[in-house]
């Protein structure tokens, strides 16, 4: 959202720039000046030089590419095991304000055979440069399949729980209200990978990564309204990690930010070693979601998410639950462990009426969350599940709404209570 707003402002400023005076335009040898009834020349209609038009066209055509906007056509794009680079404009408690430029990776649907992509930005509170540089080449493209190979080197701030909400919402809440939904660590190293599209919307990704992991601390408490203080950023296990990974995604969700329909899934596996004296670890994660059409203006949305990692995994490979994107009304990321299960349900109505002719076209959701996190080897028990429930009201669409929720059970070690959030990202 921030990046698109800045792009629009930049283009608007270009459009508002004063045009050269007509007197500065080379005179036409025609008789137009002597005959007022003659049609205006092309120079008189468009006095701007060709170079200005070329620059304007370039900005319009490539702005989205270079400010790093996400491609919303892929449901699980933000969870990619390859493309973990956050947007070029962001704000959080470890980096502060980050301002930079970013170029998207190669799209398999484009005509490009190869592409250099990446990002560079300066983190004002961290006082350091964040960067990613990568090269991708498409090996082939057919009607239903395509394959590309890539390699990238980066020094970036990584948010392992970035699936819980959008970077735009996280930055907005941080700037406004001193709240941060993500946890962070620094990763520096190289990744080599392949991306294969398959029929029936399937996409297979596989690769190898070797990188140094470092802890990050909270470096700012600034916000516009100064409602409190950012929570501390948890430490991670530091050292060099080497891992192979693979993921498979499929399905399509249409109108995700409005009245959604369709289904999608994602499964991933990672096997790695190398940090400290830890032996090899294996991490598995899966997510399935769907939206059932109950009638023209109503949907039932369901998501089931789970994961497990062996006991030798570093802290940053464990799972966290609690708060926005998982179990609402529980402290953000309060639960951490090697095993996790999460279920979310939403009943969605588009066009609800409260009073005739007043608030008569509302977007309303009723939702329930249930989450569990356990240590390695711990068995699932219903008594350990944290449930919450509530409702949301939006004036126009599902992505912009006011959510009110309550915890249905208290659990030691996890603060909980009624919550009220202005959201502009769907829960799933």
Q: 267-292, pLDDT tens digit by residue?
A: 999 999 988 666 799 999 999 999 99
Task: Identify which of 349, 409, 363 has the alpha carbon closest to the alpha carbon of residue 384.
Answer: 409
Q: Characterize 47-74 residue by residue with b for buried, 16 or more Cβ atoms within 10 angstroms of its Cβ, and e for exposed.
A: eeeeeeeeeeeeeeeebeebbbbbeeeb
Q: At a CB cut-off of 8 Å and minimum separation 6, what does 98 contact?
A: 86, 88, 89, 90, 91, 121, 122, 123, 124, 130
Comparison of pLDDT for 49 and 263, the residue scoring more: 263
What's the rounded mean pLDDT across residues 312-329? 95
What residue has token string 């209570």? 417
What's the rounded mean pLDDT across residues 81-107? 96
Q: How far apart are CA 135 and CA 389, in angstroms?
A: 45
> Which 8-state DSSP code applies to residue 317?
G
Confidence of residue 361 (pLDDT cuts 50, 70, 90): confident
CA 285 from centre of chain: 18
Q: What is the CATH number of domain 252-428?
A: 2.40.160.50
Q: How far apart are CA 270 and CA 267, in angstroms?
A: 11
What's the rounded mean pLDDT across residues 230-255? 96
C-alpha distances (whole Å) from 292 to each of 72, 90, 261, 288, 323 are 21, 34, 7, 13, 25
**pLDDT confidence of residue 19:** 39
Domain boundaries, the chain: 1-67, 75-236, 252-428
Q: At a CB cut-off of 8 Å and minimum separation 6, what does 355 contact?
A: none
Q: How far apart are CA 294 and CA 342, in angstroms?
A: 24
**pLDDT confidence of residue 312:** 87
What's the rounded mean pLDDT across residues 293-322? 95
Percentage of the residues of the chain whose pLDDT score is greater than 70: 80
Instruction: Report whether pLDDT(37) > 80.
Output: no
Secondary structure of residue 133 in the 3-state scheme: strand
What's the rounded mean pLDDT across residues 175-186? 96
Phi–psi pair at 55, nearest 5 degrees: -65, -45
Q: How far apart are CA 293 and CA 263, in angstroms?
A: 11
**pLDDT confidence of residue 274:** 82
Q: How far apart are CA 239 and CA 154, in angstroms?
A: 16
């Amino acid at each position: 959202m921030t990046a698109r707003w800045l792009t629009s402002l930049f283009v608007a400023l270009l459009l508002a720039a004063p045009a050269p005076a007509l007197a500065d335009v080379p005179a036409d040898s025609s008789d137009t000046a002597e005959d007022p009834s003659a049609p205006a020349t092309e120079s008189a209609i468009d006095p701007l030089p060709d170079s200005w038009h070329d620059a304007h066209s370039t900005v319009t055509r490539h702005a989205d590419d270079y400010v790093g906007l996400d491609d919303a056509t892929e449901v699980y794009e933000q969870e990619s095991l390859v493309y973990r680079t956050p947007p070029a404009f962001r704000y959080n408690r470890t980096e502060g304000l980050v301002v930079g430029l970013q170029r998207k990776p190669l799209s398999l649907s484009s005509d490009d055979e190869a592409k250099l992509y990446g990002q560079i930005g300066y983190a004002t509170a961290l006082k350091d440069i964040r960067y990613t540089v990568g090269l991708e080449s498409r090996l082939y493209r057919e009607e239903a399949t395509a394959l590309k190979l890539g390699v990238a080197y980066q020094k970036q701030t990584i948010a392992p729980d970035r699936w819980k909400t959008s970077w735009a919402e996280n930055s907005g809440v941080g700037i406004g209200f001193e709240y941060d939904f993500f946890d962070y660590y620094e990763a520096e190293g190289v990744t080599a990978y392949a991306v294969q599209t398959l029929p029936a919307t399937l996409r297979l990704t596989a690769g190898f990564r070797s990188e140094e992991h470092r802890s990050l601390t909270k470096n700012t408490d600034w916000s516009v309204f100064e409602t409190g203080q950012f929570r501390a950023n948890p430490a991670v296990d530091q050292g060099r990690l080497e891992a192979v990974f693979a993921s498979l995604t499929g399905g399509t969700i249409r109108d995700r930010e409005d009245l959604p329909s369709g289904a999608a899934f994602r499964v991933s596996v990672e096997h790695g070693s190398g940090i400290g004296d830890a032996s090899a670890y294996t991490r598995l994660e899966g997510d399935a979601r769907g939206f059932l059409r109950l009638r023209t203006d109503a949907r039932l949305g369901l998501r089931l998410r789970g994961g497990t990692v062996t006991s030798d995994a570093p802290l940053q490979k464990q799972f966290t639950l609690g708060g926005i994107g998982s179990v609402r009304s529980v402290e953000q990321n309060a639960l951490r462990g090697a095993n996790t299960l999460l279920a979310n349900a939403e009943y969605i109505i588009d066009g609800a009426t409260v009073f005739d002719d007043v608030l008569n076209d509302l977007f309303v959701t009723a939702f329930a969350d249930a989450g569990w996190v356990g240590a390695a080897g711990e068995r699932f028990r219903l008594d350990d599940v944290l449930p919450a429930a509530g409702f949301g009201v939006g004036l126009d669409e599902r992505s912009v709404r006011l959510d009110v929720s309550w915890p249905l059970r208290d659990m030691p070690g996890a603060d909980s209570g009624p919550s009220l959030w202005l959201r502009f990202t769907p829960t799933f």
